[in-house]
Amino acid sequence: MFFLLYEKLFIMRRILMKKKLLILLMIVFIITAFSMIPVQIIGQMTNYHSNVNVYDSDMFGVESKKIELITEDSLKLVAWQVEVEQPKGTIIFISGIHNPSVTYFFPHAQMMKNNGYSSLLIELRAHGESEGNKIALGMEEYLDVKAGVNFLKNDEKYKDLPIIIFGVSMGGATAINSIGQIEDIDGLISLSAYSTWADVFCDNMIELGVPKFIAELEKPFVWLYLCFDYGFDKITINPLNEIKKLKGRPALLMHSREDSQVPFKSYERLVESIDDNVSTYVREGNYHFITYDGYSNKPWEDTEYAESILNFLDENFG
């Protein structure tokens, strides 16, 4: 009798141990799967040099001067200067994660010139003719902007004039990081910026049909990947943190409500996080570059878009 009871208890213990082991293996599998998603996706997006198509300013009837910048971490960058005889200030243009080249914004530089602003178009690290083999999602690219700011501050013509940073997508995020990190930047125009890389990564998972709770579970693994890939000190440099450092400097945040690359939720997070001197513009539809399709070569003809930017500049720097 006692032997049979002991045998049953022994069998039950073995079954429980097997169940615990199975649960443990499932947990290990799930953690491994979640941790591999950022490795596979983000690694493919960032661990290379983007050979963007560089446009000649002559194509747009714009006169420019090509220059070289050196960053604090010793990277050589190419940039183009579009000058004005008596400028009100300088707009620094930067572009996105892969495409296009910043030279895509020569028509914007022409629009700025027509309204009294000079421009400095900086090809970010790991893009085009600029050095670098790793895209840093805005966590290091602010150093590229800083090199441009230093260039302007060392020029007698521009050193006392306002500097406004203008960026789109990852460039928009970098623009926010830059004004947070660089006190010599006087204003911000940010288009289609993400609030943090972990946010936009998980927002896009949801847009692709992944259940929200799974996407939220993925977020810590994205942060962990960024920590190990870029350094724990870098992940605090993100738009959601840096936009809180405006200190009264004027900013214009622009987004389209149906943006398919950086979902609108990022814009909402950024706006909700501050109560500073911030102007906003929301365009209905899916327009990642905010301008309507077909207006990239003549942005001034998209009058609502152009006026929102130029009015912001003239109200604050004109």
> For 205-257, what is each residue's pLDDT tens digit?
899 898 898 888 889 889 999 998 999 899 999 999 999 999 999 999 999 99
Question: Which stretch of 8-17, 67-76, 85-94, 245-254 has the lowest confidence by average pLDDT?
Answer: 8-17
* 24 part of a folded domain: no
Residue 210 lies in a domain: no
Does residue 72 lie in a domain region? yes
Rounded CA separation 146/157 (Å): 18
Number of domains observed in the structure of the chain: 1
Query: How would residue 52 be classed by pLDDT, with cut points 50, 70 and 90?
Result: confident
Task: Write the CA distances from 246 to 176, 179, 261, 277, 315, integer angstroms.
Answer: 9, 7, 26, 8, 17
Within-domain flag for 228: no
Given a cut of 80, is residue 7 above it in pLDDT?
Answer: no
Residue 31 domain flag: no
Find the mean pLDDT for residues 166-179.
98
Q: What percent of the chain has pLDDT over 90?
A: 75
β-strand partners of 71? none
Read off the tokens for 210: 């992944």
Residue 152 lies inside a defined structural domain of this protein = yes
Q: Is residue 19 domain-resident?
A: no
CATH of the domain at 164: 3.40.50.1820
Confidence of residue 13 (pLDDT cuts 50, 70, 90): low
* Residue 302 reports pLDDT greater than 70: yes
Domain ranges, residue 175: 47-196+238-317
Residue 57 lies in a domain: yes
